[in-house]
Structure 1
Amino acid sequence: MSIKSINVRNQFRGVIKEIIDGPVLSEVDVQTASGIVTSVITTRSVRELGLKPGSEVIAFVKSTEVSIATL
């Protein structure tokens, strides 16, 4: 699959800052120019993609709902 075939408009280039491995799911923190984006993906996917701190990645964000709260 090429990146061109992904229909997600919100894309953030960044570098993996930290990966917290779990037995099934892992938390991946990506440092972007706008701040940190965190993704929870399967630990198997982390291994198959060869993700590690320092890897350059693109975080794709697709959501059907965005919640907003007052300050």
Structure 2
Amino acid sequence: MLRVNDVATLVGMSPDTVRRWVDTGRLPAERDGQGRRLVASADLAAFLREGATEDPALRSSSARNRFRGIVTNVVRDAVMAQVEVQAGPHRVVSLMSRESLDDLSLEVGSIVTAIVKSTNVIMETDPSTGARHA
């Protein structure tokens, strides 16, 4: 579960915008025991996949080499995998081996950092959990 500030950071918007999405029913959320809004990472991934990027504020461009975001889609076969990440206003797609996907335990809703170097995109999990690269 993600707090409003975490969602705001991941999508590159203000916490007030995220609260409006929740209050208008665009983004599902529940409240914890202290009244804070919590969003399931899978719900955020679906929200982004289903058109939140149509919002002009999410389409502004400011490319950097490291994009922290949320996995919105995973397509896998026996050998290869395609991983889509929404990182603020940026949609990043990585092609990697199925073995790397499995080693990183990537799935819709996973929080990752996409590292872009030339034509390669490298996925990195949170260093506090023992960062691994693919």
Instruction: Give TM class, smaller chain.
Output: 0.7 to 0.9
Please report the RMSD computed on the Cα atoms of aligned residues, expressed in angstroms: 1.4
User: Match of 2:83?
Assistant: 28
4+ residue runs over 3 A deviation: none
Alignment of 1:1-71 (within 5 A): 10-63=65-118
Query: TM-score, structure 1 length as denominator?
Result: 0.74
Seq. identity, %: 39
Q: Distance in 1 between matches of 2:117 and 2:89?
A: 17
Could you give the per-residue CA deviations for residues 6-62 of structure 1, whole angstroms, max 9, x where no partner exists? xxx700000000000021110000011122100000011111111110000000000
Q: Greater relative contact order (Cα 8 A, min sep 6): structure 1 or 2?
A: 1
Paired residues in the alignment total: 56
Q: Comparing both structures, which one devotes a greater share of its residues to strand? A: 1
Query: TM-score, structure 2 length as denominator?
Result: 0.40
Unpaired runs of 5+ in structure 2? Answer: 1-63, 120-134
Q: Comparing both structures, which one devotes a greater share of its residues to helix? A: 2
Q: Distance in 2 between matches of 1:35 and 1:22?
A: 25
Q: Distance in 2 between matches of 1:55 and 1:26?
A: 15
Unpaired runs of 5+ in structure 1? Answer: 1-8, 65-71
Q: Which of these two proteins has the greater Rg computed from alpha carbons?
A: 2
